[in-house]
């Protein structure tokens, strides 16, 4: 079935080096803006197949719009160690660390991964531009900060078959590549870096390459991956997957302190469920003093997973004579959470999980209500009327398959 309705258009937005292919594959022509790029919302008319590609096959996503910076020089490690909350000293060459970074008040600026490319060279990824912050804090250190956003193109290959596909193409086997490690290899004669990272909470890899090789790599992956169900995947499916994985999204689940304007919009890593990534034993880093104080007194807010309970939800709809309406895609509207008459939190993103068959969401909740299994009321609109329906605090990630971290024996 093909209607072959071709069209051409122009845009003021940025185009990734893969656009030549992605634009033709996008059957729905649904696009979103991502960091000023035109990024596919979904390729097919519905996103279901793309979502299941992530969870059961292999999904190919263009993640070029991520901001990327290269930090290089004798002080690179010292610089990053001061910048981020995790301990970069113990990050080995070829290792990747996910970390937040904060301002001096311990409020989160952004989060991303730090890749140690060599002893004195790192790549850091971020959701928002961070060049100015990096530059400001590099004063007096022997290093260079360069914007790698346009000089490196990247793809994410996520899903249970991702390793199989890469093993067919790459010159070296990825069997021994551990979770949050990376390696340099070749696709034929094209040099690429592959990190075992991703934003889906599944087995998956991210491939980093020179933009001039972008189309060749794309073609190769689609060709060799076809027997394994490789599927170009858009942001709609990714959003569901990342919520299932309990991963936060800047500007949706939190606001960068650099743009928050008012105090109440700012969050610390402790308030975003990233307390594990704050290494207070580290000698000194930006925000340490404030974070140590916060840790000592306990954070005011916590970031939790909630599950909206099925039976009550179904009841609400039954009362108006409808079957339960479930969100077909992930939503991003802040939704109140109550305990009794008091609002004690708000959910920032949520979705029906097709794989878990549960209605889940990520939420900010006042610390005293953040304990697992605490019952709260979630605000729900049933046929234009607001209802409260029970929701329970549950552990994240909601979905956490063995294969995400394991290596073949």
Partner 1 sequence: MSQFDIIVIGGGLNSLITASILGQSGGEVLLFETRDQVGGLASTSEFAPGFKCNVINDVVKWIDPRVMKQLNLESHGLELHSPDIVRIALDTQGQHIVFHRDPNETAGSIANHSEKDAKVWKQFTEYIDKLTHFLEKLYELTPPKLPNIGLKEAFSMRSMLSPIRKHGTRGLVDFMRVAPMMMPELVDEWFENELLRAAISTAGIHHLSFGPFAAATGLNLLHQHVHSKGVFHNVQFVKGGTSELANAVKLSAESVNVEIRTNSKVCAINVENGVCNGVTLESSETIQADQVVSGLDPRNTFINLVGPSKLNPTFATQLRNIKYRGSTARIHFALNGLPKINGIQEDQMGMIFSASPSIEYLERTSDSVKYGRMAENPYVEFTIPTVINPEFSPVGKHVLSASVQYAPYHLRGMNWSKELKDQLKNNVIQVLENYAPGISSLIESSSVLSPMDLESQFGLTEGNLNHGEMTLDQFMFMRPTISTAQYKSPIENLYLCGPGTHPGGGLHGTNGFNAAREILK
Partner 2 sequence: MSTVNKYDAIVIGGGHNGLTAAAYLSRAGKKVLVLERRYILGGAAVTEEIYPGFKFSVCSYVVSLMKPNVMRELMLPKFGLELLPLESTFTPLDNDYLLRTADADQTYREIARHSRKDAETYMRFGPAMGQIGMAVRPILETVAPNAIRPSLSDMGAMKKLLDHFKSLSSEQFEYLTKLMTMSSADFLDEWFEFEPLKASMSASGIIGTFMGPRSPGSAYVMLHHYMGDIDGAFRAWGFQRGGTGAVSMAIARSAEHFGADIMTEASVEKVIVKNGRAVGVALENGDEYCSDIVISGLDPKLTFLKMVDESDLPSDFVTDIKNFRIRGSSGKVNLALDALPNFTCLPGDGHHLRGAISISPSYDHLERAYDDAKYGNFSQEPYMDIILPSVIDPDMAPPGKHVMSCFVQYAPYDIKGGWNDQKREAFGDVVINTIARYAPNIKDIILHRQVLTPADLESIFGLTEGNIFHGELSLQQLFTMRPAVKWADYTTPIKNYYQCGSGTHPGGGITGSPGEMAAKKILGIWS
Instruction: Tell me which residues touch partner 1 (CB under 8 A).
Output: 78, 82, 103-104, 133, 136-137, 139-141, 283-284, 286, 289
d(CA 221, CA 215): 10
d(CA 252, CA 241): 15
d(CA 191, CA 189): 6
What's the closest the beta carbon of residue 141 comes to partner 1, in angstroms? Answer: 7
What's the closest the beta carbon of residue 131 comes to partner 2, in angstroms? Answer: 5
d(CA 339, CA 67): 39
d(CA 161, CA 167): 10
The answer to the question of residue 131 lying near partner 2 (CB under 8 A) is yes
What's the closest the beta carbon of residue 103 comes to partner 1, in angstroms? Answer: 7
Summarize the chain as % helix, strand, coil (round to 5): 25, 35, 40
What's the closest the beta carbon of residue 287 comes to partner 1, in angstroms? Answer: 9
Q: Could you say which residues in the range 139-168 bind partner 2, by CB under 8 A?
A: 147
Measuring CA to CA, which residue among 170, 120, 126 is closest to residue 148?
Answer: 126
What's the closest the beta carbon of residue 63 comes to partner 2, in angstroms? Answer: 18
* Contact call for residues 72 and 233 (beta carbons, < 8 A): no
- CB-CB neighbours of 83 under 10 Å: 23
Q: Which two tokens stand for residue 305?
A: 């997973």
Over the window 76 to 115, marking each residue x when it contacts partner 2 by CB under 8 A and - when it does not, the resulting string is ----------------------------------------
Pick the binder of partner 2 from 20, 32, 33, 45 (CB under 8 A): 33
The answer to the question of residue 251 lying near partner 2 (CB under 8 A) is no
- Give exposure, 379-406, as e/b (b: 16+ Cβ within 10 Å): bbebeeeebebbbebbebebbeeeebee
Q: Binds 141, which of partner 1, partner 2, none (CB < 5 to 8 A, cut-off by type)?
A: partner 1
Helix (H, G, I), strand (E, B) or coil at 164: helix
The answer to the question of residue 290 lying near partner 2 (CB under 8 A) is no
Q: Binds 137, which of partner 2, partner 1, none (CB < 5 to 8 A, cut-off by type)?
A: partner 1
The residue among 281 and 357 lying less far from partner 1, judged by its C-beta, is 281
Q: Could you say which residues in the range 254-273 bind partner 2, by CB under 8 A?
A: 258-259, 261, 263
d(CA 348, CA 110): 17
What's the closest the beta carbon of residue 137 comes to partner 2, in angstroms? Answer: 13
Pick the binder of partner 2 from 4, 5, 8, 12 (CB under 8 A): 12
- Piece in contact with partner 2 (CB under 8 A), picked from 39-47, 123-131, 272-280, 308-316: 123-131
The residue among 283 and 318 lying less far from partner 1, judged by its C-beta, is 283
The residue among 143 and 177 lying less far from partner 1, judged by its C-beta, is 143
The residue among 10 and 284 lying less far from partner 1, judged by its C-beta, is 284
d(CA 386, CA 363): 19
d(CA 193, CA 185): 6
CA 19, 21, 24, 25 dihedral sign is negative
Kindly provide the residue ranges of all beta strands, DSSP E only, lying in 165-279, ordered along the sequence. Answer: 182-187, 190-195, 204-209, 230-232
Pick the binder of partner 2 from 129, 191, 354, 397 (CB under 8 A): 129
The residue among 289 and 318 lying less far from partner 1, judged by its C-beta, is 289
The residue among 59 and 80 lying less far from partner 1, judged by its C-beta, is 80
Residue 161, Cα to own-chain centre: how many angstroms? 20
Binding stretches for partner 2 (CB under 8 A): 12-14, 33, 35-36, 129-132, 135, 147, 258-259, 261, 263
């Amino acid at each position: 079935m093909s209607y072959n309705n071709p069209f051409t258009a122009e845009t003021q937005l940025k185009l990734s080096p893969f656009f030549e292919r992605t634009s033709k594959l996008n059957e729905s022509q649904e696009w979103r803006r991502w960091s000023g790029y035109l990024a596919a919302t979904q390729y097919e008319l519905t996103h279901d197949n793309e979502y299941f590609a992530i969870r059961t096959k292999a999904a190919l996503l263009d993640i070029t719009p991520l901001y990327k910076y290269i930090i290089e020089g004798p002080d690179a490690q010292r610089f990053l160690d001061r910048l981020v909350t995790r301990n970069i000293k113990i990050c080995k060459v070829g290792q990747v660390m996910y970390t937040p970074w904060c301002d001096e008040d311990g409020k989160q600026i952004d989060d991303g991964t730090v890749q140690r490319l060599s002893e004195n060279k790192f790549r850091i990824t971020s959701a928002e531009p961070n060049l100015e912050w990096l530059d400001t804090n590099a004063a007096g250190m022997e290093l260079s900060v360069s914007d790698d956003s346009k000089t490196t193109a990247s793809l994410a290959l996520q899903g249970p078959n991702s390793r199989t596909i890469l093993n067919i193409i790459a010159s070296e086997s990825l069997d021994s590549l551990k979770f949050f490690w990376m390696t340099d290899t070749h696709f034929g004669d094209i040099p690429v870096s592959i990190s075992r990272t991703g934003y889906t909470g599944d087995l998956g890899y991210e491939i980093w390459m020179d933009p001039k090789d972008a189309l060749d790599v794309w073609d190769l992956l689609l060709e060799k991956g076809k027997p394994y169900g490789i599927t170009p995947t858009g942001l709609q499916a990714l959003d569901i997957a990342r919520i299932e994985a309990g991963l936060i999204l800047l500007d949706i689940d939190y606001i960068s302190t650099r743009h928050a304007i008012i105090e109440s919009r700012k969050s610390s890593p402790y308030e975003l469920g990233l307390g594990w990534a704050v290494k207070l034993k580290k000698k000194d880093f930006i925000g340490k003093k404030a974070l140590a104080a916060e840790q000592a007194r306990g954070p005011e807010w916590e970031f939790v997973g909630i599950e909206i309970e099925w039976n009550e939800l179904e009841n609400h709809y039954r009362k108006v004579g409808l079957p339960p309406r479930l969100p077909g895609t992930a939503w991003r509207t802040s939704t109140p959470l109550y305990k009794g008459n008091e609002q004690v939190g708000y959910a920032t993103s949520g979705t029906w999980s097709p794989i878990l068959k549960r209605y889940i969401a990520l939420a900010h909740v006042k610390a005293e209500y953040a304990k697992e299994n605490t019952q709260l009321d979630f605000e729900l609109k049933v046929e234009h009327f607001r209802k409260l329906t029970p929701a329970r605090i549950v552990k994240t990630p909601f979905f956490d398959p063995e294969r995400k971290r394991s290596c073949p024996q």
